[in-house]
Every structure is written in C-alpha cells, then in structure tokens.
Structure 1
Amino acid sequence: MQAPDPIPRPLDQLTLRGEANAPALVTREGMLDYAGLERGVASLSAALAGKGLGPGHRVASWLPKGRMTSLLPLACARAGLVHVPINPLLKRAQVAHILTDSGAAMLVTGSARLATLATGDLPDGCRTVEEDEGAAMLAGEGRLPPSNADPDSLAALLYTSGSTGRPKGVMLSHANLWLGAISVAHYLELGPGDRTLGVLPLSFDYGQNQLLSTWAAGGCAIPVEYLNARDVIRAVERHRITTLAGVPPLWVQLVEAGWPPAASLSLRRLTNSGGRLPASIVRRMREMFPAAELFLMYGLTEAFRSTWLDPAFVDTHPDSIGAAIPFAEIMVVRQDGTPAPPGETGELVHAGPLVAQGYWNDPVRTDERFRPAPADSQYGGTSVWSGDRVRADEQGLLYFVGREDAMIKTSGNRVSPTEIEEAAVASGMAAEAVAIGVPDDRLGQAIALVLRGDRGREADLRRYLKSELPNFMQPASIVWRSELPRGPNGKLDRERLRQELMS
C-alpha cells in the first residue's frame, strides 16, 4: 500500500476530494453531492463571515446531527473561524462552561436547547443562531471560495474531560484534522464507493473523523441519530452501509440484537475505539460479520488517534491495540524517559503532526500533558504523554495495561469524576462524594458514587443528577458511608475506596 500524502491542506478543501456528482452527505434534509457540499460550505462560510465574526472567533454548535452540524467544521475553517462542537447530550452546566471557557462569539442551536440556558450562561457579546436563521445561512447567495489557510492555524476546539476539573478544550489545527482524515482513509482503505454510517457524536473526535475521512476518500457520510440497536441495523440496511464505527457498549448491543439476514451484507469494515472490546465480543463480531474486516483502534483527543490493529491480527491478538497509524510515532517510555523494551510496561507517548496544540487557555494542564518528545523520537518536538500504561510484544504490537489518572471511561466517553462529585455535593444531599470507575463488560467502566450523607435521600439525589448530568454520567451504583477514608495528607483516599469496591 502506497504511503499517504503527508502534506496538510486547509480543512475546507475536503469538499474538493470527490467527484462533483458523487454523493457526499445524506441527512434528514436530503442528499448533497460533492458539488452541493462545496456550495453549502461556500454559502455557510460566507454567511458566517457576514455576521461580523473575525479571524479566530469561536463558533459553538449545540445541535443534533444534520446538514448544519455536518458542514460547520468545514465552513468555520473556510471563514477563518474556530469550530466548537458541543455534545447534544450535555446539560446546561456543561454547556455553559464550554461556552464561557471558549469565549464563543456565536452559538448555533435549537430554540428548545437555547431555552434551557440561563442568563449569564452565554459569554458577553455571544449572539445566537436558531433553526430558521441557520437554514437561511445554508441557502444564502453569498459564496466564499476554498481558503488558503495556514495548515498550522487553529480550526477547532474539542472539549474533553480531565481527571480533575471541568472539560478542557483541545486545540486542533487544520493540519491535525486534515492529516487525521487522510491517515484513517488510508489504513481503512476507504474509497469513493464507501458509505459510512455516523452513529457517534460529531463532538467526539472519533465521530467527527467519520465525516472527514469519508470525504477525504470521496465517499458518502450518513450521520444519524438512534435510540437503540434496531435503529442502527435498519439504517445499515436502508443505506447499504459499508463502514460502521462504534464504541464497546454499542457493539455489545449490536451483537445481542437480531440482524435480518440481508442487513449486514453490505458491510465491509467495522471499527472500534473509545475503549477495549472484550475478546468474547470480538469473537461474536467475527462470527456475525464474516465478510467485514474488524479494525481495533486506540486514540486520545490530544493526538486524535494513535494505533490500529491490522484485521489480519484480530483473530490471533484480539486484546491488542495494534501499532502506530500513518503520521503517528508511538513510543513506550519508562519513567526516566528511556524506551521500555518488549514486555515491559511503560507510558504511551505520541509524537508527530497529529499532536494537538495544547489545551485552550490552560497553560498549566498543557505543560503537564504536552511535553518535549523523548530523546530517541524520530519526529521530536512536542509530544503527548498520555498517562496510559501499555506494553509492546516482540512483533511491536501494543497492549493496553491501565490508566495512570482517575478518569472514568464509560460508554466510549471520558468522564471526569470531579464533575459528578461536584453535582452530588451541589444537590445538598451529600457532604462528600467520590466517583470511581469499576470494570463493566458492557460499558467498559461503570460509575460507582460513594457518598457521606443521608441514604434516605437516594431517590431524590438520583432525580437531581438526572436533571443536571447527561445519561452517560449517571452512577450505576450509589454507596452510602458514615465516613470516607482519608490519606496522610487529609485528602480522600480514592485508591482505598476503589479497592474496597472491587474486593
């Protein structure tokens, strides 16, 4: 396989990758071919530029999947703006934080969502665009031509949770997003005849890349909302999907669902990221979809994606996360910064042009995660020290061992325990709270919430948490204690609680 072109370009030029009359996007508003995709991006970018927005201004979107959500990443890039996609599952507190932290100059959303925001949730001067105005912007007469943006200029902020504190905005350049799209299109061997079903949130780097990599290959992207596995199966059958991406909980649901005999015949490739698939689920997927290749992958928003496992190794190494994707250099590093030999556990360090530019307006956390590459790095420069523990075998295949931080990875989402703890305490029903991730075959990790407070208020607390936090942040179990253990420094002893819960 010939190596992909390593030269980055302005992100909005993805509209030029396909044949003019080839299908590019199918949403509830209908189909756009590549000529229509280019017209839509040109019109939307001109309309954005006509709103008085200047270079580098942040444009946030809090929307379900549709034409506007799909075109905004390219239109903002063409207009010199920075796109800030917000997960539509988030509730008011998380959205308000992202809007304020990013300093959004515009929010594109629906009227019902806008009504949930309170006075002061929008930054000063932030204007809002609702459905009707958004539709007019997509259909406007103005046009901006493809840009000549500097590939190193900022194109997007993707907000991801940290192990402490609130979500932080990962700064992604045109080059980061362009090369990520080219890389994935290359190793998945996507082509103009492929039809990708987008079931993942477009605010998620994995979900957004489904659009971008499909367009990089000249294929057709079909983003959809779904309520259950049957909705996904029907969409695969209706649209003759060739490429389906998921996170472990979705794959568990899909292998448990009944597939009509003809529904999966069009599938050529299945991909997983956002957590390790249990070997039993891998075997089931191989049995159910024998004609489709299975790609197991590992990534982190700070460097988009790091590794992929060649489908040829899936049956023999189902627990491996594979080796480096194109444009990524992956190292396993000891605590002293030297390479860890095969079989020895070390920290996964990612270098190369997919490494993001740091965290928005957060130099302290940027310096913690984005540090000079190890001395033996081929790329050098800044690298991402992931905090994940991995080991390599003699073939160079990597295996995930564990996480150094307290992040909870559930349903393909990285969840900050601090956000859950703050919400529990804010309810007034708990004096102290600790959220812990415990192993779960379906979710990757389930959330256990340990509280000091009145156990008779549990029903009230659950109602409160459901009103304040999205579904994927809801605790699977709540444990009440009269006292919580503390370490020598007076801080709550998370590790002791974790051990007690798992014993």
Structure 2
Amino acid sequence: MHALLDEAAAEVPDASAIRDANGAWSYRRLAAFSHAFADWLRAHGVGRGDRVLVQLPSSRELVAMFYGTSRSGAVFVSLNPVMKPFHLRSVAENAEPALIIGDARTAGPLRELGAAPVHELADVLADVTRRCADLERTEGQEPAATPRPAAAPAHPDDVAALIYTSGSTAAPKAVVSPHRQVVFATRALTRALGYRRDDVVFCRFPLSWDYGLYKVLMTCVARCEVVLADGESDFVLLKRMRETGATVVPIVPSLATIITQLARRDREEPPPVRMFTNTGAALPQSTIDALRKHFPGARVVRQYGQTEAKRITVMPPEQDTERPTAVGLPLPGTRVLILDPEGAAVPTGQTGEIVAEGPHVMSGYWRNPEVSERTFRTDPATGAPRLHTGDYGSLDEDGYLYFEGRRDDMFKRKGLRMSTLEIESAAMDIPGVRAAAALAPTDRHDLALFVEADLDVPTITDELIARLEPAKIPAVVRVLSEFPFTLHGKNARQELAALLDGENQ
C-alpha cells in the first residue's frame, strides 16, 4: 500500500499532498516522514503482522504513520478520538496491539486498558522528526554511509489495516483489509470518480472510518491534495473550503444538510466545488437540489458500499442527473449480483439481496470466524470471493443498482412491504426538516419517526400524509431540537430506540 505514496513522491515530489489546520506537506515530505516512522516502529520492536493502535485526531503526521506502519509490515488500527473506554476496552482485547499511540487527552485512558505499551504523540513526533531530518540529510549519499533500515517484507495478502465498523454495542467487528484489496479498491474508485491532478479533496471524516482513510489513498493515486478538516468547526466550513480551493467534497446526509444551511446564509462567492460524493445513506432530492443551487455546476454523485468491500457501485459523475433513484454501476473489475434466499439470481428488476463479487471484497472480520463465514463466501462455481451485504436492491437492464433498504430496514406493516428509507426520504422532503430517522415496528412500539426541525408534530404529520400511503404514516412522531449521530455522522438509531423504549416503560 505504501507503494502508492512512493510512486507519487517519485513522479510529483514537490506537489502538495496533504494539508491540515497547521500547514501542508509535499509528497516528498510525507514519504520521508513515513520512512522515519517506520524506522521508529522497528526500533520499538514492531514487526510484520503486529497491530499498531492509534487514537489521534486527523493530521499530516497521522497519515505519515499510516504509510509508515505499512512500510514496517505492521497493521494500522486507527480509532476515533472520541471513542469511549467502554468500547476501547473491547477493541483493544480484540486487536491485541503490540504498541499504542495517544495524545495528551487519549493516552491516559489508553494506559488504563493495560493492553500494550502506550506512547504519547508529542514524544513520538519529537523522535520521528529527528529521524526524518537524519534521513533527509543522508539522501544522495552512498548507501554504505548511512544505510536505511530494510523494510519488512510485505506480501499483497498481508493485512494492511483493521477498520472497526461503527456501532453502539460492546462487541467489536473489524474488517480485515489486506494490501491487495485496498490497492485495487483505491485505484478502481479513483478511476470511477475521475479524480484529477488539480483536485483538492476536502475531507471531514476521520481516518478511523474507511470513507476518510481512502481519501488519503485516492488523492495519492490521483497526485492531488487532500485537506484533513474533521477537526474544523461546522461554522467555518465554507470559509475553509474557499481558503483551500476545495473541488471535491465527500459528504453524508448530515454534513450535506450543514453545508446547505451555511450556503443559504452565505453572501460570498461559493467555493470551487465541482463534485460532491455521497455515502452512508441516500440524500433526499431536496438536499441534492440545494447543493446544485448553491454550488453551480457541481455534480452530486451517488454511491453504495460497505467497508467490507470499500465501495460497490458509483454513479458515473457525468450521469449524476440521470436515473435519480439509482446508486450507480459496479466498480471497474467487479460485479453486483441480486440473489434470492437460496442463492439464485433473480430476474432483472426484481428485489433480492445485494451481493458483491470481485477483488475488492475484503477477507473477513478479525477473529470473528462465525460472522465472517456468513458474510464472506465464495462462488460455488468459480471460487471467486463474494460479499453478502444483507442489503436489498435490484438491477435494471443496463446494470445500474437500485438500493431498497438495509437488512433491518425492510418490514411489513398493515400488509404492505416497506422500508424505513422511504419514510425518512419523505420526511427529509419536508421544508424545515434537517434530519430524520424512522424505526421499524417491534413488539415494543409501532412505526416511529424522529426528526430534527422547528416544526410541530401536526405539521409534520400533515406533510407526511401528502407524501405517503396511509399504511406508511408513522404512529409515533417525535421532534428533537438536536439529533443524535454516530461517530461517522450516521443516524444513531440505538439511541433513538432507547429513547422510545424509555417512553413506553
């Protein structure tokens, strides 16, 4: 995986590779710092296959650590800085790291875990910066003078990273991401989205989430710049996008809502964004329209994917206004199948389980063979790896995918099959609604809807009646002044369900 950086550093050494709130680094500087960090890891006994766990804010140094871990043959495990000890404990037990790095805020709780030696970021950076200076001073000298330590041998099937998927349960689930699959997915996605050398990718997501991590890799392949902005205040987003000249902005629905709200009040020239790329959940049409209105000429690209295969489909950017309910075509070199419960392909246009097949399918969940066996399977005829997503959708005659709902989104109510996705989409279409989450009926409650808005319940209900069939009108509607989200900006459904259960007790 670090070869992606080496190729960029050789071709455009002085081009800006990465920017954060404290400055920018060229590809040459990023590569040098990653070599120095690999040296630091080896000096601390970290070798091939060892897990290096970090809980740090996104920064240029963290990206260098990511590439340096790859150089050392070790496995990068990045955790969100706001992850609490309750989850940290189970993750550390699962990952069994050889070494942990935290900053002034996170190092203390990490030490309390007792899982591995914990190093404070300031001390690490002081040592790595010195090593980097030594390496840069000796560049060009005869190899015998100051030999650079040999990198640990790495194989394409070695694990590059463990990516812990978001959730609110204590049981950790880490997607095993080998170099081979990561590199393939990176190149295929960069090509599908058409990243350009003059792009500036404005990334609001942490490296603990694959959506953020792959932006670092994709910009490397495209030889362009990534801006790490997940630590920035929401209120300065447009200002920072202007200052950095952002041309590509990855979003999720909650971030898109923030951007459109800021843009409505903004009186300056919009940032030069040419493309928004969405994942996590479907964008309401009203949000898409608002993005196009406030960022003239920008394309809003729909995607579908899971960390278990990185990305599965991408709507070609030049077709962003076509087939408005489709989520795109399979990545180059991959394919999508729609299967029935027995594993047989369903006819075109019919709904079934979305199954991804190809070299982007990861190799399972770390130390979780039971769940891995159910989710990651092989084609019985060809032996090709397959990801059974548990999501439902259909393909049209041209191979475009239509996403209809996740495993837990589909349900029957009053004899009618429906999904929480369409309830949420109708709610988000109501002017004044900023966020929405529907909860399917259970034995404890009927169909429920939570929204963040300045509207009252009767108004929201009337608006829903104008948009949905009678059977799809929620029995319970709650208006919140502030909506709960997961660490990755998705709806925190477990928190909402707990709130509803508390009302029913």
Asked whether the equivalents of residues 196 and 244 of structure 1 are also in contact (C-alpha less than 8 Å), the reply is yes
Measured against aligned partners, the alpha-carbon deviations of 1:241-292 in whole angstroms (never above 9, x if no partner) come to 1111011111012112236455534212111011111122122222222222
1:479 equivalent to 2:500? Answer yes
1:135 equivalent to 2:125? Answer yes
2:290 matched residue in structure 1: 284
Asked whether the equivalents of residues 18 and 34 of structure 1 are also in contact (C-alpha less than 8 Å), the reply is no
1:43 matched residue in structure 2: 36
Distance 1:391 1:469 in 2: 30
Pairing 1:378-457 to 2, within 5 Å after superposition: 380-405=383-408, 439=424, 441=428, 442-443=434-435, 445=437
1:122 equivalent to 2:114? Answer yes
Distance 2:404 2:35 in 1: 46
1:348 equivalent to 2:364? Answer no
1:82 equivalent to 2:75? Answer yes
TM score, norm. by length of structure 1: 0.78
Rate the CA distance shift 1:480–1:339 in 2: closer, same or farther, 3 A.
closer
1:243 equivalent to 2:256? Answer no
Structure 2: which 5+ runs fail to align?
136-147, 411-419, 429-433, 445-483
Q: Measure how far apart 1:194 and its partner are.
A: 1.3
Rate the CA distance shift 1:261–1:216 in 2: closer, same or farther, 3 A.
farther
1:461 matched residue in structure 2: none
Q: Measure how far apart 1:148 and its partner are.
A: 5.8
- Amino acid aligned to 1:129: H
- Amino acid aligned to 1:105: A
Q: Give the one of 68, 81, 85 matched to 1:92.
A: 85
Rate the CA distance shift 1:34–1:228 in 2: closer, same or farther, 3 A.
closer
2:47 matched residue in structure 1: 54
Measured against aligned partners, the alpha-carbon deviations of 1:196-232 in whole angstroms (never above 9, x if no partner) come to 1111121111111111100111111110134554322
Asked whether the equivalents of residues 159 and 177 of structure 2 are also in contact (C-alpha less than 8 Å), the reply is yes
Q: Measure how far apart 1:16 and its partner are.
A: 3.3
Q: Give the one of 164, 172, 176 matched to 1:167.
A: 172
Q: CA RMSD in A?
A: 3.1
Higher mean C-alpha deviation, range 197-206 or range 287-296: 287-296
Distance 2:73 2:61 in 1: 17
Q: Give the one of 356, 360, 366 matched to 1:360.
A: 366
Distance 2:293 2:32 in 1: 43
Structure 1: which 5+ runs fail to align?
1-7, 408-435, 453-465, 485-503
1:233 matched residue in structure 2: 238
Rate the CA distance shift 1:349–1:480 in 2: closer, same or farther, 3 A.
closer
Distance 1:448 1:118 in 2: 41
Q: Alignment identity in percent?
A: 27
Q: Give the one of 176, 196, 199 matched to 1:191.
A: 196
How many residues align structurally?
429
Q: Measure how far apart 1:447 and its partner are.
A: 7.3
2:63 matched residue in structure 1: 70
Q: Give the one of 150, 154, 157 matched to 2:162.
A: 157
Higher mean C-alpha deviation, range 9-18 or range 60-69: 9-18
Higher mean C-alpha deviation, range 258-267 or range 98-107: 258-267
Structure scoring higher RCO (CA < 8 A, sep ≥ 6) equals 1
Distance 2:215 2:5 in 1: 15
Rate the CA distance shift 1:331–1:450 in 2: closer, same or farther, 3 A.
closer
Distance 1:297 1:191 in 2: 19
Higher mean C-alpha deviation, range 101-110 or range 283-292: 283-292
SS at match of 1:391: strand
Asked whether the equivalents of residues 5 and 220 of structure 2 are also in contact (C-alpha less than 8 Å), the reply is no
Distance 1:17 1:304 in 2: 27
TM score, norm. by length of structure 2: 0.77
Q: Measure how far apart 1:66 and its partner are.
A: 1.0
Rate the CA distance shift 1:80–1:9 in 2: closer, same or farther, 3 A.
closer
1:272 equivalent to 2:278? Answer yes
Asked whether the equivalents of residues 328 and 354 of structure 1 are also in contact (C-alpha less than 8 Å), the reply is yes
SS at match of 1:134: helix
Distance 2:196 2:205 in 1: 21
Rate the CA distance shift 1:329–1:10 in 2: closer, same or farther, 3 A.
farther
